[in-house]
Each structure stands twice: as structure tokens, then as C-alpha cells.
Structure 1
Amino acid sequence: MTGKTHYLICDIDGGPCGIAWTAAGVVRFQLPGNDAATTRRLLLRRLPEAEPAEPSPAVAEAVAMARRYFAGEEVDFSDVPLDLAGQSDFFRAIYEAARRLHWGETTTYGALARELGAGPEAARDVGEAMAKNPVALIIPCHRVLAAGGRIGGFSAPGGASAKLKMLALEGISFAPPEPAQQSFGF
């Protein structure tokens, strides 16, 4: 992280979310939780030195974009400035590739690894990067799925059900499989 860290807890559809930033950009985004105290605790668990503050114009715009996103409006977070200091070069490359996924678009851990020129074993590394994503939503890890297009895990509050809800906002559904063909009965 670059410099002093500030944070804000704000209400959006789905509950209170948290955002933390430095002069370089957003360093953490906490997806909506059940209550402001829990959201604050989760945000500060990784950033205990952060201090509450009024957002900079760029952070205020990121919050406005998050509000629009959770209200169901198509939003592109790819221009939100981030502070990913402390992340490995490979994780930063993974995050950059994930940021190119647009509203309603998904990929898999393996496909993202291949896009980066890494072998199939790197799919686990992509999964690890997604699990450790410090700015969920802004880096759209919810759009990265497990092999075969399965939902996979999600480390945010609500787990995989939160991931499903976010994808549903974008028009992506995971309908249950059709029932097996029934016998004709003769």
C-alpha cells in the first residue's frame, strides 16, 4: 500500500459495504454485509491502521458505481484506480486480466491462466488470487468460475450464494439441470 489508508462504510442495496483507499487508489472493497459493524470489522481486519474519512472524488465515484451495480445497472469498474502494492506480479497480472471481464461475461480459472500464458496447473494460482482479491467487485472475481462453468467458491460474505446473486444481477443464471428423461411408462 502507498501512504496513509482511509476507509468509508456506506449503505447500498444489499447492505453496508466498505471501501478503503490510499492516495494511489482503492486498496480494499468489502462487499455488502448484514450490518455496518460487521462490515467495518471485516474491512479493518486486513487494514487495522485505516482511519475513517470522507472519500476523495475518485472513491466517491467508485461508491456511486457500486450503488448502481447493486441496483442492477450495468457498470464498468475498469477505470477505478487501485493500489495493489504488496501483491505479486503474477497476482497483479491475474487481476488485470479479470478486470477485462465485462458485465454479464464469465470465464474459468483455467481459461484465465491460459490467457496469461500459464499452464493448466496455474488454474489453482488463479483460484488463489481470486480468493485473496482485496477489491472484490472492482476486480470482478465473481465472474471467474470453476472448471466446466460451475459456480466454484467465493470468499466474500454469503459465499457462493452471494456470487450467484451478483451474477444474476448481470443476467447470468445457473438454473438447476433438467430432470432426467422420464420413462414412457410402457
Structure 2
Amino acid sequence: MRHAGYCLFDTPLGQCGIAWRDNGPSDGGPSVVRPAVTLLQLPEVTTERTESRMARASGAPRPSAPPPPIAEIIERLRKHLEGEAQDLRDIVVDLTGADDFARQVYEAAREIPAGQTRTYGEIARALGQPREAQAVGQALGKNPIALIIPCHRVVAAGGKPGGFSAHGGRATKARILAVEGAPTAPIQLELRPTRKR
């Protein structure tokens, strides 16, 4: 996939990254181009790692200034992470490289409103594949456009958080869900005893 550019932006979670490509004319006429979001990276351990990941994934040598439609999306994402819920379903995304099942999972996740959650099993049943809860989780683990495709709103059975592939894992997932006002089960960290040498 060819990305037109990427940039980093500050949020209450830390510095995120967004990449986009031109998507052709929009409903505003042939002279109005509406870019499609191709990647949304949540913060890594350091800003340098976030930028490095964005540069690798986008193929662009350096960040660039976002075009006005992307700047508007960035502002909406900031507001969302500050607790002012935004409906992000109108944002155009490019899922080139995702298989049909993953696309269906991502579309189902986009329909979950802020402040609510669904289980992996509920998504699988909604797709008519009730035995594919694990495949739903695997597809969400590869989600290239976090927040806009709200994989954090999909949890394990019994309200347990389930996995989350972004830095910070389940704690980051719980933090985003808390900002959105979604009920969450407490996160239990598994502590393993250290081995004596």
C-alpha cells in the first residue's frame, strides 16, 4: 500500500501516529480529495519508537504536515481521548491487505458505540460464525487502525478485558474504555514467581 504521509500527534495517552493516502474525489466534488486513514498507532514506550514504527509501516522517510481533513481527524481523536466521545464511523479507512473475514470483524467493531463493549463471541455470532471467537480476536490483534476501528471495545466472555496488542496491553485497553465510560472488569495482572538461581 502506498501512504501519502504520516505524522505524530499528542494525546492524553501519549504521542500517537497516523498515516493516510489520497482516496480520490469526495462527495464535495472532483476537486475535493478526502484522504483515507491507513494506520493509527497508539503510543509506544518512547516517541522515537512510535515514529520509527510509523516510518517503517508507512514507507515515508519522515513525518509531514497533515492535510486539513487529517488534521480534523486528529482533533477528533484528541477530544475522544479527553473524554468527549466522538462518533468516528464516518472516517474513511483503507484496509488494503486485510482479508474478507478481518474486514467484516472491523466493520462489526466500528458499529459498537463508545461506552459499550461486545465479546469476541458476540462478534462471531453476529457474523454468522459462532465458533470463530478466537479468529475474531486474532483479526482484532492485527487491526492497523486503532481507535477508529475500536478493537478495544471487544472483550472476552464475562467482561474480562481479553488481549490488546498496543503498548501497555490490557491496562491501555482498560484506560481507553474508562475514558469512554464503558464498564470494565478489574484487570488482574499475572505475577509469576521469579526463579532462584
Band of TM-score, shorter chain: 0.7 to 0.9
Q: Does the CA contact (< 8 Å) of 1:145 and 1:152 recur in 2?
A: yes
Tell me if structure 2 keeps the 8 A contact 1:145–1:151: yes
Moved more, 42-51 or 158-167: 42-51
Moved more, 58-67 or 158-167: 58-67
Residues 1:23 and 2:33 aligned together: no
Q: Does 1:144 align with 2:154?
A: yes
**SS of residue paired to 2:40:** strand
1:37, distance to aligned residue in structure 2 (A): 1.0
The alpha-carbon distance between structure 1 residues 166 and 74, as it changes in their structure 2 partners (threshold 3 A), is same
1:84-163 mapped onto 2 (5 Å cutoff)? 84-120=95-131, 122-163=132-173
Q: What CA distance in whole angstroms lies between the structure 2 residues aligned with 1:50 and 1:19?
A: 14
Identical aligned pairs, as a percentage? 45
TM-score, normalized by length of structure 1? 0.87
Q: Report the counterpart of residue 59 of structure 1 in structure 2.
A: 70
**Structure 1 pair 13/98, CA: closer, same or farther in 2 (3 Å)?**
same
- Cα distance, 1:49 vs. partner? 4.1
Partner of 1:184: none
Change (3 A) 1:39 1:147: same
Paired residue for 2:191? Answer: none
Contact 1:7 1:50 in 2 (8 A): no
Label 1:92 to 1:147 Cα distance change in 2 as closer, same or farther (>3 A).
same
Aligned equivalents of 1:42, 1:4: Cα separation in 2: 14
Return the TM-score normalized by structure 2.
0.82
Equivalent AA in structure 1 for residue 20 of structure 2: W
Aligned pair count reads 175
RMSD over aligned Cα atoms: 1.8
Q: Which amino acid aligns with 1:142?
A: H
Take 1:4 and 1:106, find their aligned partners in 2: how far apart are those partners? 31
CA distance in 2, matches of 1:85, 1:71: 30
